[in-house]
Amino acid sequence: MTGQGALIVISGFSGAGKGTLVEKLIADSDRFSLSISMTTRSPREGETNGKEYFFVTKEEFQKKIEEDGFLEYAGYVGNYYGTPKAYVEGEIAKGHDVILEIEVQGALQIKDKYPNAILMFVTPPSVEELKKRLIGRGTENLESINKRLLRAKEESILMHKYDYIVVNDDIEDCKKSVISFIDAAKSTPERCSGFIKKLQNELEEL
């Protein structure tokens, strides 16, 4: 391993199982740090401030924008979501791999600012399965489900901008694929530039 931390962006249709995937990635290893986003959406039952999200008012969110406190932010189905800058920059500086679980517009802002970020898009094997999962998880009303499906249609147009498409059929297989994609992506020369430089410097000193 080359010692450099990576910025890993995980997006996917609402209901694709990204939340479970990210939970598994975090639980099984201390390799990954998870960025906790700020949102103006209300907490769902069982969600705690500071764990799933930092739940804030529109005014607080706006203030953070004005302070240039976000790495990226975007609107999603009537609410705002953003990645606080300080935590992510701190973890990357420590050499940790940081996971951002964010939607497409935010992911593309990250790709612009950090070309070495690794972008993964998680999808169920079919739209029928997507609908089944959204209805089955029971956290959204019909209106919200329909909005999320409409949003999935828009997001599908931008899927080709990602580095990897991850089909979540079986969650354990999906997790294994994601880890192998991250390992492969971290080994490209662009992402190993610091390591290459170090080797060159050492060779120079021979």
103 binds ligand 5GP (CB under 6 A): yes
Query: What are 124's two structure tokens?
Result: 């169920």
Name every residue whose Cβ is closer than 8 Å to that of residue 128 and which is 6 or more positions away in sequence.
Answer: none
Binding residue for ligand 5GP (CB under 6 A) from 22, 106, 120, 130? 106
123 binds ligand 5GP (CB under 6 A): no
What does the per-residue mask of binding to ligand 5GP show for 29-68, with x meaning CB under 6 A? --------x---x---------------------------
Closer residue to ligand 5GP (CB): 6 or 70: 70
81 binds ligand 5GP (CB under 6 A): yes
Q: Interface with ligand 5GP by CB under 6 A: which range of 73-81, 127-135, 180-188, 195-203?
A: 73-81
User: Among candidates 205, 194, 204, 178, which has minimal Cα distance to 29?
Assistant: 178
Q: Interface with ligand 5GP by CB under 6 A: which range of 20-28, 79-87, 88-96, 168-176?
A: 79-87
CB 27 within 8 A of CB 110: no
Q: Interface with ligand 5GP by CB under 6 A: which range of 60-68, 72-80, 114-122, 163-171?
A: 72-80
Q: Which residues bind ligand 5GP (CB under 6 A)?
A: 14, 37, 41, 72-74, 76, 81-83, 101-103, 105-106
